[in-house]
Amino acid sequence: PEDANSKKNSLVCWTVATSIKLAIAGKVDPVEMANYMPRLLKLLELKEISCRHAAFLMAYSATHHMPQVMAGLMKDQVMPSLYEVATFKLERKVDLGPFTHTVDDALPLRKTALSIFASCLENLPASLDIAAF
Protein backbone atom coordinates (compact mmCIF):
# COMPACT_ATOMS: atom_id res chain seq x y z
CA PRO A 1 0.00 0.00 0.00
CA GLU A 2 1.19 3.45 -0.88
CA ASP A 3 0.99 6.17 1.70
CA ALA A 4 0.94 9.90 1.00
CA ASN A 5 4.59 10.31 1.94
CA SER A 6 5.95 7.72 -0.52
CA LYS A 7 3.74 9.13 -3.27
CA LYS A 8 5.07 12.64 -2.56
CA ASN A 9 8.67 11.36 -2.57
CA SER A 10 8.17 9.59 -5.89
CA LEU A 11 6.76 12.80 -7.40
CA VAL A 12 9.80 14.73 -6.16
CA CYS A 13 12.19 12.13 -7.63
CA TRP A 14 10.31 12.14 -10.94
CA THR A 15 10.41 15.95 -11.05
CA VAL A 16 14.14 16.08 -10.32
CA ALA A 17 14.98 13.48 -12.99
CA THR A 18 12.79 15.16 -15.61
CA SER A 19 14.20 18.61 -14.82
CA ILE A 20 17.78 17.38 -15.14
CA LYS A 21 16.92 15.63 -18.41
CA LEU A 22 15.58 18.88 -19.84
CA ALA A 23 18.55 20.87 -18.50
CA ILE A 24 20.95 18.46 -20.21
CA ALA A 25 19.09 18.83 -23.51
CA GLY A 26 19.16 22.60 -22.98
CA LYS A 27 22.97 22.58 -23.01
CA VAL A 28 23.88 22.94 -19.36
CA ASP A 29 27.62 23.23 -18.63
CA PRO A 30 29.12 19.68 -18.73
CA VAL A 31 31.77 20.53 -16.13
CA GLU A 32 29.12 21.54 -13.59
CA MET A 33 26.94 18.54 -14.48
CA ALA A 34 29.82 16.11 -13.95
CA ASN A 35 29.91 17.04 -10.25
CA TYR A 36 26.29 16.07 -9.65
CA MET A 37 25.81 13.16 -12.05
CA PRO A 38 27.02 10.34 -9.73
CA ARG A 39 24.42 11.32 -7.13
CA LEU A 40 21.69 11.78 -9.74
CA LEU A 41 22.34 8.34 -11.21
CA LYS A 42 21.35 6.81 -7.86
CA LEU A 43 17.78 7.45 -9.02
CA LEU A 44 18.24 4.46 -11.36
CA GLU A 45 18.05 2.18 -8.32
CA LEU A 46 14.56 3.27 -7.24
CA LYS A 47 11.75 0.72 -7.29
CA GLU A 48 8.95 3.13 -8.29
CA ILE A 49 8.37 2.56 -12.02
CA SER A 50 7.64 6.19 -12.99
CA CYS A 51 10.71 7.49 -11.12
CA ARG A 52 12.92 4.82 -12.58
CA HIS A 53 11.68 5.54 -16.10
CA ALA A 54 12.37 9.26 -15.63
CA ALA A 55 15.86 8.41 -14.33
CA PHE A 56 16.54 6.23 -17.39
CA LEU A 57 15.39 9.05 -19.67
CA MET A 58 17.75 11.40 -17.82
CA ALA A 59 20.62 8.92 -18.32
CA TYR A 60 19.71 8.61 -22.01
CA SER A 61 19.75 12.39 -22.42
CA ALA A 62 23.14 12.60 -20.70
CA THR A 63 24.55 9.77 -22.83
CA HIS A 64 23.30 11.43 -25.99
CA HIS A 65 24.19 15.08 -25.26
CA MET A 66 27.15 14.76 -22.84
CA PRO A 67 28.96 11.47 -23.41
CA GLN A 68 32.11 12.88 -21.81
CA VAL A 69 30.25 13.22 -18.49
CA MET A 70 28.84 9.69 -18.63
CA ALA A 71 31.99 7.90 -19.84
CA GLY A 72 33.40 7.20 -16.39
CA LEU A 73 30.03 6.37 -14.84
CA MET A 74 28.63 3.88 -17.33
CA LYS A 75 30.33 0.71 -16.12
CA ASP A 76 29.72 1.09 -12.39
CA GLN A 77 26.47 3.02 -12.11
CA VAL A 78 24.42 2.74 -15.30
CA MET A 79 25.17 -0.69 -16.76
CA PRO A 80 24.08 -2.78 -13.74
CA SER A 81 20.67 -1.10 -13.81
CA LEU A 82 20.41 -1.54 -17.59
CA TYR A 83 21.17 -5.26 -17.33
CA GLU A 84 18.57 -5.64 -14.61
CA VAL A 85 15.86 -3.79 -16.56
CA ALA A 86 16.59 -5.68 -19.78
CA THR A 87 14.93 -8.78 -18.32
CA PHE A 88 12.42 -7.07 -16.00
CA LYS A 89 8.76 -7.85 -16.66
CA LEU A 90 5.74 -6.52 -14.83
CA GLU A 91 2.77 -8.20 -16.46
CA ARG A 92 -0.86 -7.98 -15.47
CA LYS A 93 -4.04 -9.36 -17.01
CA VAL A 94 -6.82 -6.97 -18.01
CA ASP A 95 -10.30 -8.43 -18.29
CA LEU A 96 -12.10 -7.12 -21.39
CA GLY A 97 -15.34 -9.06 -21.08
CA PRO A 98 -14.95 -12.26 -23.09
CA PHE A 99 -11.25 -11.49 -23.72
CA THR A 100 -8.22 -11.01 -21.52
CA HIS A 101 -5.32 -8.83 -22.48
CA THR A 102 -1.82 -9.03 -21.00
CA VAL A 103 -0.21 -5.66 -20.30
CA ASP A 104 3.50 -5.35 -19.54
CA ASP A 105 4.03 -2.21 -17.47
CA ALA A 106 7.82 -2.58 -17.70
CA LEU A 107 7.90 -2.23 -21.49
CA PRO A 108 8.69 1.54 -21.44
CA LEU A 109 11.62 0.84 -19.11
CA ARG A 110 13.04 -1.81 -21.44
CA LYS A 111 12.61 0.46 -24.47
CA THR A 112 14.47 3.27 -22.72
CA ALA A 113 17.23 0.85 -21.67
CA LEU A 114 17.66 -0.22 -25.29
CA SER A 115 17.80 3.44 -26.32
CA ILE A 116 20.63 3.96 -23.86
CA PHE A 117 22.46 0.96 -25.32
CA ALA A 118 22.01 2.38 -28.82
CA SER A 119 23.29 5.77 -27.74
CA CYS A 120 26.29 4.10 -26.08
CA LEU A 121 27.09 2.25 -29.30
CA GLU A 122 27.13 5.59 -31.06
CA ASN A 123 28.83 7.83 -28.49
CA LEU A 124 30.59 5.57 -25.94
CA PRO A 125 31.42 2.23 -27.59
CA ALA A 126 34.27 1.51 -25.16
CA SER A 127 31.88 1.56 -22.19
CA LEU A 128 29.81 -1.40 -23.43
CA ASP A 129 30.52 -5.04 -22.63
CA ILE A 130 28.45 -6.73 -25.33
CA ALA A 131 29.23 -10.25 -24.07
CA ALA A 132 27.76 -9.45 -20.63
CA PHE A 133 24.48 -8.36 -22.16
Q: In the 8-state DSSP scheme, what is residue 72?
A: T
- What does the pLDDT read at residue 7? 74
Question: How far apart (Å, rounded) are the C-alpha atoms in residues 1 and 16?
Answer: 24
**Side-chain half-sphere CA neighbours of 50 within 13 A:** 12
Question: How far apart (Å, rounded) are the C-alpha atoms in residues 45 and 25?
Answer: 23
**pTM for the predicted model, two decimal places:** 0.86
- In which region does residue 52 sit, left (phi positive, over 0), alpha (psi from -120 to 50) or beta (all else)? alpha
pLDDT digits (tens, 9 = 90+) for 78-130: 988 988 888 888 899 998 889 999 999 999 999 999 999 899 888 888 877 77
What mean pLDDT do residues 9-18 have? 92
